[in-house]
Amino acid sequence: MSEELQALSAADAAAAIAKGDLGRGELFEHYRARAASDELNAFTWVAESMPDSVDGPLGGVPIAVKDLFCTEGIPSQAGSKILAGYCPPYTATAVANLEAAGAPILGKTNQDEFAMGSSNENSAYGPVQNPWDRSRVPGGSSGGSAAAVAAGLAPWALGTDTGGSIRQPAALCGIVGLKPTYGAVSRYGMIAFASSLDSAGPLTRNVTDAALFYRHLVGRDSADATSVSFPEPIALPTSERLDGITLAVPAALVDGDGIEAGVRDSFEAALESARGLGATVVSCEIPSAPYALSAYYVIAPAEASSNLARFDGVRYGLRVDATNLDAMYTETRHDGFGDEVKRRILIGTYALSSGYYDAYYGRAQRVRTVVASELSAIFQTADFIVTPTSPTVAFGLGERTADPLAMYLSDLFTIPMSLAGTPAISIPSGLSDGLPVGLQICGPAFSENRILGAAHALERAIGFDGSSAWSAL
């Protein structure tokens, strides 16, 4: 019976529970046992038993939640020593919405500290291993969520994406990851990294599960002034063809150096599949793309330096006692923050400092405006922009930790969409040397239904099978 439960998608499990063919407690205990025996370090906390949950359209299918979300009475540590053991007095809106739809919390997932990383090696609670090859990274920063879903430790998971932190680990772990339109999902209760970029979204086994999950995330929240009402209901995708759809490929970006041959081959095969479904594939240019990465790594650290100022040892989290207040601030942050977080705080503080604001932060924001304008222009003649999600497959643990620039280049394809605030999805497009490759599909703001439809059609045509990542666990 456990193999049958494991083979069920989240949507199928919800349907089976609704029909009375499967008990909610039975499903929860199946996943609780798997999560509790986690060998990948994907979880930082696992529920001891099924929490009280309401009846709802998600049917009692449990969720894994990235540890960047506040969850009342449950450790919410953001992958950082400075928040070790912190249990908030309230629950993030995104999590509360899923609970209200009938999805109980299975556990909290490991992540790069404060979501700063592309490999999940920056966590104070140790690195997460990729279920396809345990010597490799799962991607980041939502690496724990991606690994848990790919390994069958959870049916689906909630993650966050600031510069690619849902899409890149989804690609490296061979699952589906959706970054929403900025503002479509409330950020209230999500521990802030870069407030103008942070988004919450699903990591799932397939596109249908992503749509079902996302349906209960979107919506205006009075507690988040940047949230907006989604203009239409999120539909479960049924598309099997791409007739009349135009896909734009940024030629200079895709043909550039640093893209592994196997990734390029998988991408080209995915484009052929799209053509076979009736899509037209055209070339496009994003002239500002070479500058997007640099702009992001000014804007995001600048906002982080402001957001992380609240972690001072006074109100919550770690406090290192010292002889005076300034020394307490210094020692607490010295001991509580990891190297990557310190690096980004220093970069961001410098970029915002007197005499440098216009030269760095102001100029980066202008680049951001240009990127958004160029993407908008492409969407006047094409339905979607498509790229590989990551320029490489999962790299080895420790391979890039001493080279921050090489690590940052992992987000080459995902950052332009983050700067523009547009939605994008990553779906598996195949394997390269036995490791998953991701395909990214990006559309204009609030085009999630259309993106999910196109992704569903391509998913069916590609026929990726990720079961080998969880069948041995």
269 by Cβ neighbours in 10 Å (0-12 / 13-18 / 19+) ranks as middle
Are 148 and 65 spatial neighbours (Cβ–Cβ below 8 Å)?
no
Where residue 456 falls among pLDDT bands split at 50, 70, 90?
Answer: very high
The predicted pLDDT at position 252 comes to 82
Picking from 440, 287, 441, the residue whose alpha carbon sits closest to that of residue 374 is 287
Contacts of 272 (CB under 8 A, 6+ apart): none
Question: Which alpha helices (DSSP H) does 277-385 contain, by range?
Answer: 289-307, 325-336, 339-352, 363-378
Among 119, 141, 266, 426, the active-site one is 141
Give the position of tokens 């020593």: 81
Encode pLDDT of 336-350 as tens digits.
999 999 999 999 999
Structural domains of the chain in order of their starting residue, each with its CATH number: 2-238+462-471 (3.90.1300.10), 289-368 (no CATH)
Question: Which alpha helices (DSSP H) does 152-288 contain, by range?
Answer: 167-173, 207-215, 251-254, 261-276
**12-15 contact pairs (CB < 8 A, 24+):** 13/59, 13/61, 13/155, 14/57, 14/58, 14/59, 14/60, 14/61, 14/212, 15/59
pLDDT of 286 strictly over 90: yes
Among 53, 66, 142, 426, the active-site one is 66
User: First-to-last CA distance in the chain?
Assistant: 15
Encode pLDDT of 245-275 as tens digits.
999 999 888 887 789 999 999 999 999 999 9
Q: Coil, helix or strand for 287?
A: coil
Are 113 and 340 spatial neighbours (Cβ–Cβ below 8 Å)?
yes
Encode pLDDT of 57-70 as tens digits.
999 999 999 999 99
CA dihedral 213, 216, 218, 221 (to 10 degrees): -140
Are 438 and 319 spatial neighbours (Cβ–Cβ below 8 Å)?
no
Taking each helix axis from N to C end, the angle separating 10-19 and 24-36, rounded to the nearest 10 degrees, works out to: 150
The predicted pLDDT at position 328 comes to 96
Q: Is residue 165 flagged as an active site residue? A: yes
Give the position of tokens 């410098």: 350
Among 53, 118, 119, 165, the active-site one is 165
Give strand pairing partners of 177.
203, 426
d(CA 301, CA 24): 43
The pLDDT mean for the chain works out to 95
Tokens representing 80?
A: 């950082």
d(CA 281, CA 272): 9
Where residue 473 falls among pLDDT bands split at 50, 70, 90?
Answer: low
Q: Is residue 390 flagged as an active site residue? A: no
Tokens representing 133?
A: 């090859």
Contacts of 45 (CB under 8 A, 6+ apart): 67, 74, 75, 107, 108
Are 45 and 13 spatial neighbours (Cβ–Cβ below 8 Å)?
no
For residue 135, what is the enclosing H or E element?
Answer: none
Encode pLDDT of 217-245 as tens digits.
999 999 999 999 999 999 999 999 999 99
Q: Is residue 119 flagged as an active site residue? A: no
Where residue 471 falls among pLDDT bands split at 50, 70, 90?
Answer: low
Cα 118 from chain centroid (whole Å)? 10
d(CA 177, CA 21): 29
Is the pTM higher than 0.85? The answer reads: yes
Picking from 121, 449, 461, 405, the residue whose alpha carbon sits closest to that of residue 273 is 461
Encode pLDDT of 128-152 as tens digits.
999 999 999 999 999 999 999 999 9
pLDDT of 1 strictly over 60: no
d(CA 370, CA 378): 13
